[in-house]
Each structure stands twice: as structure tokens, then as C-alpha cells.
Structure 1
């Protein structure tokens, strides 16, 4: 935070990076979603949530067993649809397994 406050804002290098990110996003994820008329993208790995966040896209993780979550991601503004999809997935699969409560001391 202190280093960020010591800067004079966004410089030339940062602007180039942001422009590159915008181009890659437009020609990558946005193009994939719109060309294929997709409501959401689902992946079996939890790193996808971080990738979505970098691009400013919403994502929601749904329990998919004991240790892995399956994130659903969509375009900006698709949060209501993602919630519907995630809820439908949970209800249809009933895959979530509660952790065992062995050695639980209350």
C-alpha cells in the first residue's frame, strides 16, 4: 500500500499492460462466450476464479466433493444467471459431502 501511495498514478508501462489485458480479454474470454452463446463457463480447477478476477469477470465456486470446488464464470453482469446455474448444479448433483465430525470437541 505504501509503495502504491508513493506513485504518481498510472504510468506509461501500466497503461500498456492494461491495454494489452483489455485486448486479450476481448479477443479471448469475451469472444469465446459471445461466439458460442454461452451463459457460463465451468472448469474443474479452482484457479479459474483468480483468472476471472484478473479480467474483472464474475465467478462463483460450488462444492463439488470433498476438496475441490468447480467455479462457474461468466461475462460482466451475469451474476444472477451464475447464481441460478450454481444453485441448479448443487440441487441436481447433490454432490457436496459434509466433512466428518470426528474428534469434534464442543
Structure 2
């Protein structure tokens, strides 16, 4: 995966994101909106995700689709209720990434 992210070298097969697809899409949306992903548009990012990733839905690998990603990344029609990271602006032009703690179902936070 590192070679895909740093050198854009494609893996032999799509990478499997072992959780809900909206979580991966939301993470990339936050990164591109904070200008931590540069030199591509949101539409190009969506196409890149479709080419290189799939996700788990109902215990099965499922491909990303343009409409699904567009609703998350390029618009605000689908909001991720369980994000996996938070891009935090600590000062103008300076960002940090923080993992979001998982909430336990049935427990008080």
C-alpha cells in the first residue's frame, strides 16, 4: 500500500478496506479538503479510489462506485457517522491527523 500512496504504483489487485466504505471515503475527503492531497480534483480522487480499493459490506468485498463516492467526497449528501480519522487545523496551514476512538455499542462514552 505504501508504494501506491507514495509512488502511485498499483497493486496487483484492489486493496480491501476491511470496514464500511464510507469511512475510507470520508478519510480521503478530509485529506483533500485540508489540502493534504494536492494536484488532483475530487472527481479524480474518486476515480483513483475506485481503481485501487474495495470495501467490506455484509461480510463480502464490494467495489466502490462513482455515485457512492460522489455522495460522500464531492457533496455533503452522505455524512459519515463513524469517521476513522479527524484532520485538525492547529494553525493556518498546519494540520495534524488524529485517530477517532471507536464508541462501544451499549456503553456510555
- In the superposition, the TM-score normalised over structure 1's length comes to 0.26
Whose strand proportion is higher, 1 or 2?
2
TM-score w.r.t. the length of structure 2 is 0.25
Structure number with higher helix proportion: 1
Higher gyration radius (CA): 1
Higher relative contact order (CA 8 A, sep 6+): 2
